[in-house]
Amino acid sequence: MSGLQNDRFLRALLRQPVDRTPVWMMRQAGRYLPEYRATRAQAGSFMDLCRNAELACEVTLQPLERFPLDAAILFSDILTIPDAMGLGLRFETGEGPIFDKPVRSMADAKKLYVPDMGSELGYVMNAVSTIRKALNGRVPLIGFSGSPWTLATYMVEGGSSKTFSKVKAMMYDEPATLHHILDVLADSVIAYLNAQIESGAQAVQVFDTWGGVLTPRDYKEFSLNYMAKIVDGLKREHNGVKIPVILFTKGGGQWLEALADTGADALGLDWTTDIHDARRRVGDRVALQGNMDPSMLYASPARIREEVASILSQYGHGSGHVFNLGHGIHPEVDPEHARAFIEAVVSLSPAYHQA
């Protein structure tokens, strides 16, 4: 598959036979690794690290030097698109992201535009092509974006939120304003992911981090419909090779059938969904990615191995499973516990792929 030495991740996403279950971790390049913290200090700030292709490449490859992972994921942030729209993104220590110019009205919404992928987001594409070249076919490279709904929550709230009061008030009182924002964001995400694919991404994932805070009715109207639009607009093949698409709604286990209806190749599962039940519901239509509780990595290596065995057993025999955490790895996790998790998947999963 396109000259890859290890293509089991792509094969599993397309539900083709594999020798063992592939494994990677959300946020696998990050603060739990001392070498990442050193590189980030060298970069000066988080966004400076994202904008420096060589350093972004360095941190993308760091976990692959430690662990037998089956994929690399672009080192970037979900807020690159709203940042490129000129909303004044900054990161405050202990507070997370802050937008100096939140989008609160139709007048604000009408100023939004699809950023230019070559100039305004060229640093991301530069990072993708730099990482792809450095990987040299070792494992596939995953590109990603935030979902329109998730990006909109930060843009309307002006940063992180526990209650989503501003974006939900807009959703209920001024739905036309929110739909305008989401439309521009969906068009932006399509252009962004297609540019990543052109630059070398071999699979793409849409992170719908906050879809789970919506009612079923609102989820369909304000999140799922826009992810379906994105799936329809993506390049599903590049240079004759299929580009799998993964959709991941945290807290979205009740909507798996509707997510599968979008035509995505795979669905991410968080740890609140039973993977056996998920496979029973949609498993022959899509691959499944997940879904160990990230907090399991605080437990002993022996307990972590037990949990990996349990999840493999719940999924059962055959392809179509990419092992992952149910969300990103926590910053305080001991890297040796991450190793125990990954090595357990490598050693225990071949039994589920024998003819």
Q: Is the dihedral of CA 41, 46, 48, 49 positive or negative?
A: positive
- Residues making up the binding site: 27-31, 77, 154, 209, 327
The confidence band for 2, taking pLDDT boundaries of 50, 70 and 90, is low
Given the residues 37, 40, 303, 339, the one annotated as active site: 40
Residue 31: active-site member: yes
Q: What is the CA radius of gyration of the chain?
A: 19
Packing angle of the helix pair 165-173, 175-199 (nearest 10 deg): 120
Residue 27: active-site member: yes
- Residues making up the binding site for substrate: 27-31, 77, 154, 209, 327
Kindly state the average pLDDT of the residues 324-332: 98
Given the residues 32, 36, 123, 154, the one annotated as active site: 154
pLDDT reading at 175 higher than 70: yes
pLDDT reading at 92 higher than 90: no
Cβ 59 vs Cβ 49: under 8 Å: yes
Percentage of the residues of the chain whose pLDDT score is greater than 90: 96
Residue range 276-318, pLDDT digits in tens = 999 999 988 999 999 999 999 999 999 999 999 999 999 999 9
Given the residues 8, 15, 20, 27, the one annotated as active site: 27
Residue 15: active-site member: no
Q: What is the pLDDT of residue 230?
A: 98
The architecture that CATH gives domain 29-66+71-235 is Alpha-Beta Barrel (3.20)
Residue 40: active-site member: yes
Residue range 176-198, pLDDT digits in tens = 999 999 999 999 999 999 999 99
347 contact partners, CB below 8 Å, separation of at least 6: none
Given the residues 37, 66, 77, 298, the one annotated as active site: 77
Domain limits of the chain? 29-66+71-235
